[in-house]
Structure formats: structure tokens, C-alpha cells
A and B are shown apart, each in its own frame.
Chain A
Amino acid sequence: MHPAFSVIFLTTLIGVAQGLFLAVFSIDLLATLGLSERPMPSFVLAGCVMSVLFAALGLFASFWHLGRPERAWRAATMWRTSWLSREVIALPAFLLSVAAYGFAHASGSVWSIPLGWLAVVACIALFVCTGMIYACLRFLQEWASPLTLVNYFLLGCASGCTFATLLASLLEPAYTEDLATWAIGLTTVALVVRAAMLARNARLRPKSTVQSAIGVKHPKVVQKSQGAVGGSFNTREFSPGRSRSFLRSVKWVFLVLAFPVPAVLLWIGATGDAALVLALAFVVQYVGLLAERWFFFAQANHPQNLYYQTIS
């Protein structure tokens, strides 16, 4: 598939927003249950503001994916059948509920925890919707797996938690080490899941072949013409547009930048309480996630490519 940067930014930015909210709300919840010290209200508020900001940026990026953005409101209508439509509802619901929770917490309302739980529900729903958009396309075999959902969830939580660590070092240093530990843990688990995904995809055997595509059983079938001398939408949208070696390099870039490097930086930043190192950890991890998402799209091999193997 052709990786579209609008979708890459959408999925990574809302992932950060969701992970950040979950981290901040977990701390608030633990404090409410008396299991830890009450965090500074400014930390929770800043977390919510940043979460809303990241989610809004993601929403903004998603509009660039549409050919007719002025009609985007229509996308909320088919929620009964379409995961994309469900995401279109879940994303603003998450945004609004996090904003409501942040406002309630800042104003000291008793409603802050129930609103927080509401935001958790919206957050999980959003994770499921985003993952299912890809996992439900059964003939994109690289995506059609529960691992896709788990991967989106874990990477969102990991990057959001990394950002929460940075926020804590600026506003609530008492939580920096705890959050850094969580972030390192989530990053590690995310690496395991991503590696499992890579292993699974490396062993996939395409269900469709050129034989089943045109219905000729002969073992040797070669396409000679795709019916157009130039390219078409089909050659642009479904091809990564880069060489195999480029894809391989991107894989190693994200395997290094999204996982071990930020984990080490988190550890250094948290033990030394250096906000700059933590900021670097987040930036490096985010860049790694951009590469991860780029690879996620580029690796998926659409069966329609069987009909578009030769331009002539």
C-alpha cells in the first residue's frame, strides 16, 4: 500500500493522545484510591490539554486524507457497518470527554473521576476502531490479525507514557521515575508484539495468486499488459513506491528509534531528572513511530497488485 502521511500522522498523534490521557488518569485514579500521592492539579490539567491537542492535531491531519473534506461530517453516518465511521465518532467523543475530565479535575468537581472513566471508554473504543479499520480488511493479510489492534494499543500507550514522563519531569517530578518505568515497560512489550507481527508477516503466504485472479490454472502465467501505457490510481495507491531495500532500511530504523533508543533515553532522563533528555526520548520515539506506521502501510501487499504487475 502507498503510505499516506495524513493517516500516518493521524494514527500516531491520536496514539500519543490516548496513551498520555491513560497515563495521567491512572495517576489520578491511584491517588484517589489513596495508593499514591495526589499529583499537582497542573500536571493533570497539562496532561489533558496536551492530550486534546495531540488528538486535535491528529483529527486535523485526517482531513488531508479526504478528497472532499467539506463532506467529512457524512462519515459519521454508517457506524452500523463501517469501522472508519465508528472512528469518526469515537475520536471527537474521546477529545470531548478528555476535555471534560480535565475541566472537572481543574475545577475540583466530584465528577472528575466518572468523567475520566467515560474518557477511558472512549479511549479504548478509539483504539479498537483505529485498529479494526485495518484488521477488518481480510485480504490485506498483513493487517488482518488481532496483533494489529494490540500493536496500535501498545504503541499509543508507550509513546503517550513517554510524553507523560516528560510532563512529569517539568510539573510533577515525584512521578517522573514511576512514569519512566511504565514507559520503558510498555515500550518493551510493544517491541515484543511488533516483532511477533514482523515474524507473522514474514511467514505469510498470499491466498490469492495470479491464477486465482484471472482463473487460469496453468502454473506459469505472466502479465504482459495492464491495459494502460501510463500508471493509474491502481498503480499509485497500492504500491509502496519504494524499493524492497528501502523498506528493509525503514524497518531497522523504526526497530531502533521507536524501542531501544527511547527506552535508554527514558532511563537516563528519569534517573538524572533531565527534562531535555526526556524530550529527546519522546521526539526520537515519535519519529520511530512515523517510520513504524510508514512500514505498516508499505508492507501490506494488496491482492489487486496481481492485476497491475506490468506497465505497458
Chain B
Amino acid sequence: MTQLALVIDLNVCVGCHACVTSCKEWNTSGVAGFLTDENPYDKDPTGTFFNRVQTYEVGEFPCTETVHFPKSCLHCEDPPCVPVCPTGASYKRKEDGIVLVDYDKCIGCKYCAWACPYGAREIDEKQQVMKKCTLCVDRIYDQSIPEDRRKPACVVACPTSARLFGDIHDADSEVSRAIRDRGGYALMPEWGTEPANHYLPRRKGTVPVADDQVNRIDTPLGVDNRVPGTLAALIAEAQAAADPLSAPAGGGR
């Protein structure tokens, strides 16, 4: 079974909001109708967004770190918002695991928003139906779009490639490998919602290198312990090793 999801790398997100504007632009222009904005250029602007980038400060001055944190629907594998919907407007697609709202069936009771611990759902104040991230379901399968751009608008827009998109049930997919290799985690695991979207943690600028990755354990020619400075030195070593008679006293070690 397929479970499409986003994997968001907090290590490279710079908080530019390009994903937010790209998402809004794509999703306000689609067949499902606009995403309402109220007072967009006035006092107290407000509107419906599928995706928001929030900012957190971690640590205590002066040792602080700024974490930019994009948040959209996590397309939970066990979505608490779906069973509570009284009309069946909220549903999870079997074929790709995307959680969607049927805007023609939604009665705007907001119960699903109460049932989502992540605050991923926002009501559209003009259309009075619940809206949320669709993983750009009207884009990722569109054959008229070049294949490499058949990804959610936020993923295509991200200038630092902080957003990966793919099937987390496919162990060899880019997203699965990222989750596995880079410590991908889910939000609020305490509620057992099994979010499909994962986040990759911040990393400090260190690369763990084991000693045996630098120094060979088996040194048949006994020349490995010295790090050669230049190519010429390398060649000289090789020649010396090839002709033991001309080798300097003391050998390689």
C-alpha cells in the first residue's frame, strides 16, 4: 500500500515561506475554489492556509537556536479527524493514503478540527467548509505537468530542498531513506495518530568518522599510517614500495 507523505528537513529549512505562498497560489487557483482571505491588505488580516511556517527559539540566550518549522496536514495513518466526521466528507484515500475533505459534502460543523491535535484543519470563512492540505492531489497525478514537477507545490518551491515528497511505505524511496538515515520523527507520537509526514532533526556540523574509515586496518605494504601530502609523495611511496632495495631505512613505518 502506498502512503504519500512529506519529509521536512528542519536542518535546512530557512523559514522563507516560499512553500506557504506557493501552496496558497496553487490551491487558491484550482477547481476546488479559492482559499478565503479576509482583510488581506488591512488591519487584522486573516485567511485559510494549508501550510504555515512557524518559528521557535530553542535554548537560552546567548546559546539559542532558531528553528523554522513548516506545519501542514500530516496525513496520519490513523487519522483521528476521519472517523468523527458525521457526513463522510473527511476521508483517507486507500490508494495513496492522502487525507482529503469532500467540499461538497462538508457541513462545516468543525468537529474534525477539534479532533485533530495538530491544528492542521482550517475552516474557510466564506465557503464555510473545512479545508486542509491535499498534498496537491490535483497536481501530483496531472499528466500535463512535466514528470519531475509532479510534486506538491510546496516541494517544488522550496529553495533549499528542505521538503521531500514520496511514498513512506516504499522502503527504497527517497523519503524512507531520509527517515531511516537521518533520524526522521513524527509529531506528538503520544497520541498514536501515526503521522505520515516526518521531520528530520537539526544537526550540528559534525560528521561522525570512525578511525578505521581513515586508517586501513590491513596494511600489506605498511605505508598507510602516513597521510600522503601530494600526489608526488604518493608516487614516491609507491615506487619505494615496489623496489624495497631503494627504500629509505626504517621502511614504511
User: Which residues of chain A have a CB within 8 Å of any CB of chain B?
Assistant: 1, 65-69, 71-72, 74-78, 81-85, 88, 133, 136-140, 207-208, 210, 212-216, 218, 220-234, 237-238, 302-305, 307-308
Contacts and interface: CB of A to CB of B under 8 A. Distances in A.
Given A230-B46, A237-B123, A302-B117, 16 more contacts: A67-B107, A74-B105, A82-B83, A84-B86, A213-B187, A215-B201, A223-B56, A224-B66, A227-B52, A227-B54, A230-B44, A230-B45, A232-B52, A233-B123, A237-B110, A305-B119
Contacts of B187: 212-215
Nearest to B71: A307
B55 A136 contact: no
Interface string B95-125: 0000000000111111101111111001101
Contacts of A138: 80, 191
Contacts of B116: 304
B46 A232 contact: yes
A166 to B, nearest CB: 33
Given A68-B128, A222-B57, A227-B20, A75 B188 contact: no
The 6 residue pairs across chains A and B that have the minimum distance between CB atoms: A67-B108, A67-B128, A304-B119, A227-B52, A85-B86, A81-B83
B119 A234 contact: yes
Contacts of A226: 52, 54
Given A214-B56, A224-B56, A227-B52, A307 B129 contact: no
Central interface residue in B57, B67, B117, by most chain A CB within 10 Å: B117
A71 B86 CA distance: 11
A75 B56 contact: no
A78 B85 contact: yes
B189 interface: yes
28 contacts: A67-B110, A71-B107, A74-B88, A74-B89, A75-B87, A75-B109, A76-B86, A78-B86, A84-B86, A207-B191, A208-B117, A213-B187, A214-B56, A214-B69, A215-B185, A215-B187, A216-B67, A221-B58, A224-B66, A229-B45, A231-B44, A232-B122, A233-B113, A233-B123, A233-B125, A237-B123, A302-B117, A303-B188
A77 B86 contact: yes
Contacts of B186: 215
B190 A207 contact: yes
Interface string B23-40: 000000000000000010
B48 A233 contact: yes
A84 B190 contact: no
B57 A221 contact: yes
Contact of A136 (B49, B54, B84, B199): B84
A34 to B, nearest CB: 44
B85 A82 contact: yes
Interface string B193-204: 000000101100
B47 to A, nearest CB: 8
A65 B20 CA distance: 30
A67 B56 CA distance: 34
